[in-house]
Structure 1
């Protein structure tokens, strides 16, 4: 009798209940989940042509025209996606952003699959899809192409695959994990932090047997094989991305640390914090899914790491979405008790209205400033053709006989890319810049000893000191009064460089 009782007690203990089991999962709510994703994609596509290119998008398009296995500030995947998207769908903001919308469709679907992997049925899966599709971060990165667009998807897929390994005990999934990690490394090296933290979390809180397989080593080999070309490129060039990362941390360290935790509650939507907080609580406390507790442990550990290294607040978004997916089931169960069911649709509606207004170009450009104060990425999509026109006005001040020896030099890659894109109808030559990979795409010849048209922020007097006889000849005006970084940018005419360009170039190069 006592032996049987001990057997029953063991079977009902938290350890046993929380052990991963290869049980049959609920059916996937494919119809409504895909419908939610496609509606989101339709909205993104309908609005994608408003305003214009973002600064970073202009840079990605330029990088895509110069395909390489690496760049000083990034691996090759996002520039490659920019080239493919503009090649297939048109060299316009709408054409470029098709690939971003498709990536976010995948994010919505994978988020619902994470919810299912944790035992959630149709209702929580659909709530997960709706919450992700109406979150500000996904709408922002779905509207415009960014490295974080693919990064969020890669992190989320890795969370799903790790859960699958732990739940089923089938180590062959490590091959898929390796492939996804390798592809993610072709986009951003940050994924190494996620993979490392997941491994440490599994060692710390288990189930450790998920690591006791040679398939894990095979997955590492796959990841390294896929990422090898860009890793070799970085090594051959002295790992410039480490220099870039260090510069970003130094330049924005205080701001990143101050805003990191508060922005965790903002990036998806404040009402959705209830979902991911419930996900953390569920995975740590619910015996039925405690086998997945490495996921919240990874997130909490990485929050500490990011605060220490001054990482940007959006770096953990993919992991945050996975936790949101885990929290959909308990939140719906809580809402179903009593008279609280109305809270869920109310939270979704509130988030939808606020997030669409903050993330998407639904406002007239002339009234954009209040939204731009909350989401500066909106303002970064305004004024680039006007910048090229302003530069052209100053260029015409240079005597025609001197223009053959003149150079347009810009402070950052957005300015240079905008001049290259929009300057041809104005008769402008190509622009040069020492910013990021633009510094590798050409140095003015030493024979260019004539005037320099310098494009710089008013505070950057150090840059003007590298040239002779500079005087303000104009300023940039986007024509809409939008307070973005380029509004009021100085256009200076300088007599020439202070040294030959080949000597001056190392001093002009910068990584942030």
Structure 2
């Protein structure tokens, strides 16, 4: 009589135990972060990228624009519908997203086995990051991006703990929404997949839910990707533009490299670095080593390509959580030399973050927008009534154009034009518009297309107002030639 062997059923490992969420301390940190941003967010004045989001959302909302997907402009437009011109209401989505990163970072620590103290330290490190201290209340894509990266990281770590494949479907949704917010999450997803292929756990690549989630991500992201394709992929050309600005803005390669580290904050930097080390060395985290490789690859890529110092902001909380839980493991093993360091470091980190916040108000001072808008309105009003009806208002850079659109009194000016960045992809004026009131350092881009270009006023120390008359060709024939992505 033969015995037929029955294969053992495939079972999913039992989830690792976790501590309860430290609701009160983590919630308190998140509330304090939100309160600090609210305290500075009410001040009048838009940061220029906020002004751009509002201008796009209010007047030119589409599935995409030259360098921005539609989520941030859509949120700006919705907030402006609720409270037109109210800068505090405009910034509420950004403040909510920044506070949410605190909770998500703590949730990552919890999934890793972090206790109340580890969760709280992670929340403080995330909440006192220097980049988010500056821009955590601006409704811009790069302020909304960290919460999406952290949500992705939390889903991946939770999947590692509980092996619930439904989480992989959620990963796809987050990537899709992230792509509609800022395109870098597609790079993050690609590097994550390659890192898993190199280091494992390769079993995740055989999960059907992962690829269904990937398909969902593509479906969600498709509208803005189609917009890019139909308009020649301007986003791909932004890399060289960003790199060309690095020397002036950050001091070149060294500034970008140091900035990407320092942006994590006084407490975040050591926790992030310690977390990276733990991912590499700790056998218990072997299946998460791909996260360390992902962080290192992205850091190298953004350094070599001279990206922005805030490009890694969405990874700080994840790595800090690993570091905070590592300190917990040391404490549990009886190594307590650092037990008196954490809380003073938290206080110093919070003080440093608070000290950075006034910088955001200086960068969003209303004087610049008010000055250029006021001078342009005055010059426009000085034109004869018949000529005003045939005159467009145009700016040399998207910054000036956005300020004209959001800072000028309602109906004081026609919608602003610019050949720069997103504005260059908006439709040109109708052909009955044969003159341009131009704001910029020089109006050379208009001289081949207008019979006369002459200065008519000043708008601050750096900008001149020019009047271009006698259009020599139809708008449609030369407008595409004017488009450019670099800020003059």
1:304–1:88 distance in 2 versus 1, CA, 3 Å: same
CA distance in 2, matches of 1:349, 1:165: 33
SS of 2:394's equivalent?
strand
1:41–1:271 distance in 2 versus 1, CA, 3 Å: closer
Q: Are residues 1:26 and 2:10 paired?
A: no
User: Could you say which residue in structure 1 is the equivalent of 2:36?
Assistant: 43
SS of 1:448's equivalent?
coil
Given that residues 158 and 180 in structure 1 are in contact (C-alpha distance below 8 angstroms), is that contact kept between their aligned partners in structure 2? yes
Q: Are residues 1:493 and 2:475 paired?
A: no
Higher deviation after alignment, 133-142 or 72-81: 133-142
SS of 2:393's equivalent?
strand
User: Could you say which residue in structure 1 is the equivalent of 2:438?
Assistant: 454
1:219 positional shift: 1.4
User: Could you say which residue in structure 1 is the equivalent of 2:3?
Assistant: none
RMSD: 2.8
Q: Are residues 1:442 and 2:402 paired?
A: no
Structure 1 residue aligned with 2:459, among 461, 476, 484?
Answer: 476
CA distance in 1, matches of 2:140, 2:387: 39
Q: Are residues 1:82 and 2:76 paired?
A: yes
Q: Are residues 1:463 and 2:445 paired?
A: yes
Q: Are residues 1:392 and 2:377 paired?
A: yes
User: Could you say which residue in structure 2 is the equivalent of 1:375?
Assistant: none
1:440–1:210 distance in 2 versus 1, CA, 3 Å: closer
User: Could you say which residue in structure 2 is the equivalent of 1:508?
Assistant: 482
Alignment of 1:202-281 (within 5 A): 202-250=196-244, 252=246, 257-281=253-277
1:33 positional shift: 0.7
Given that residues 55 and 380 in structure 1 are in contact (C-alpha distance below 8 angstroms), is that contact kept between their aligned partners in structure 2? no
1:21 positional shift: 6.4
CA distance in 1, matches of 2:343, 2:164: 38
1:263–1:381 distance in 2 versus 1, CA, 3 Å: farther
Q: Are residues 1:53 and 2:67 paired?
A: no
Given that residues 89 and 98 in structure 1 are in contact (C-alpha distance below 8 angstroms), is that contact kept between their aligned partners in structure 2? no
Report the number of matched residues: 469
SS of 1:447's equivalent?
coil
1:410 positional shift: 0.4
CA distance in 2, matches of 1:235, 1:262: 35
CA distance in 1, matches of 2:84, 2:415: 22
Given that residues 412 and 435 in structure 1 are in contact (C-alpha distance below 8 angstroms), is that contact kept between their aligned partners in structure 2? yes
Higher deviation after alignment, 34-43 or 242-251: 242-251
Alignment of 1:96-245 (within 5 A): 96-245=90-239
Cα deviation per residue 1:175-200 (whole Å; 9 max; x = unaligned)?
11111111111112211111111111
Q: Are residues 1:92 and 2:86 paired?
A: yes
User: Could you say which residue in structure 2 is the equivalent of 1:372?
Assistant: none
Give the TM-score of the pair, scaled to structure 2: 0.87
Alignment of 1:318-329 (within 5 A): 318-329=314-325
1:468 positional shift: 4.9
Which runs of 5 or more residues in structure 2 are unaligned?
A: 1-11
1:271–1:209 distance in 2 versus 1, CA, 3 Å: same
CA distance in 2, matches of 1:20, 1:299: 27
1:395 positional shift: 2.9
1:422–1:272 distance in 2 versus 1, CA, 3 Å: closer
Q: Are residues 1:419 and 2:404 paired?
A: yes
Cα deviation per residue 1:14-56 (whole Å; 9 max; x = unaligned)?
xxxxx98621112111221112111211221232111411111
CA distance in 2, matches of 1:279, 1:381: 41
SS of 2:176's equivalent?
helix
Given that residues 100 and 149 in structure 1 are in contact (C-alpha distance below 8 angstroms), is that contact kept between their aligned partners in structure 2? yes
Given that residues 45 and 364 in structure 2 are in contact (C-alpha distance below 8 angstroms), is that contact kept between their aligned partners in structure 1? no
CA distance in 2, matches of 1:220, 1:401: 56
SS of 1:493's equivalent?
strand
1:500 positional shift: 4.1
1:334 positional shift: 6.3
Given that residues 166 and 210 in structure 1 are in contact (C-alpha distance below 8 angstroms), is that contact kept between their aligned partners in structure 2? no
CA distance in 2, matches of 1:307, 1:268: 16
1:464 positional shift: 5.7
User: Could you say which residue in structure 2 is the equivalent of 1:353?
Assistant: 351
1:220 positional shift: 1.3
CA distance in 2, matches of 1:497, 1:29: 66
CA distance in 1, matches of 2:41, 2:213: 38
1:155 positional shift: 0.9
